[in-house]
Amino acid sequence: MPSCTARCSTTDHITTARLALAQLPKRYRRGRRTLIHTDSAGGTHDFVSWLVRRGRWLSYSVGMTVTEAIHEHVWTMTDVDGYRHFSRKSGR
């Protein structure tokens, strides 16, 4: 990926992913065997939506630094989008 000393946009991430995929043998340009990894800067809804668009089916990983504030906030969550989260209080 070109160096992004300034903030990279979703368009930058999509363009870079397209260029990288174009260098792969055709059989690896789509499908779960190909993993696209990005840090939190690429973890936008638009970029992830592009990765999972029907017919593309790429695997992806979005990394981020989990700060103490984020870690503590996760413990306060009990039910998000239908998923039950464990909590310190319940012991589960």
C-alpha separations of 8 from 42, 50, 60, 76, 87 in Å: 8, 16, 18, 32, 36
Element (H, E) at 18: helix 10-22
Q: Which distant-in-sequence residues (6+ apart) come within 8 Å of 88 by Cβ? A: 75
CA dihedral 41, 79, 91, 72 (to 10 degrees): 30
pLDDT in tens, 16-61: 999 999 999 998 888 888 889 888 888 888 998 998 888 888 888 8
Residue 86 has pLDDT above 60, yes or no: no
